[in-house]
Amino acid sequence: MRAITKALVGVTTAVGIAAGGVVTAGTATAAPAPAQEHVVSADVAPLAVVNLGLTREEARKVQRWLATHWNYNGAIDGYLGTGSWKAFQRCLAKYWDYNDEIDGIVGPNTIKALQRLLRANGYYSGAIDGIAGDGTRAAFKVWANKL
What's the pLDDT score for residue 25?
45
Confidence of residue 22 (pLDDT cuts 50, 70, 90): very low
Confidence of residue 48 (pLDDT cuts 50, 70, 90): confident
Tell me if 56 sits within 8 A of 63, measured CB to CB: no
What's the pLDDT score for residue 16?
42
When computed from its CA atoms, the radius of gyration of the chain, rounded to whole angstroms, is 23
Inter-helix orientation angle 134-146/56-69, to 10°: 60
What's the pLDDT score for residue 14?
41
What's the pLDDT score for residue 19?
42
Cα separations in angstroms, 72 against 62, 63, 67, 82, 124: 10, 7, 4, 11, 25
Cα separations in angstroms, 85 against 1, 31, 100, 139: 61, 42, 13, 17
DSSP H helical ranges for the chain: 2-18, 56-69, 82-95, 108-120, 134-146
Overall average pLDDT of the 23-31 stretch: 47
* Other residues' Cβ atoms within 10 Å of the Cβ of residue 65: 18
Overall average pLDDT of the 1-12 stretch: 42
Confidence of residue 5 (pLDDT cuts 50, 70, 90): very low
Give the least confident one: 23-32, 91-100, 110-119, 127-136. Answer: 23-32
CA 64/CA 52 separation, integer angstroms: 17
Residue spans of the domains in the chain: they are: 1-31, 45-146
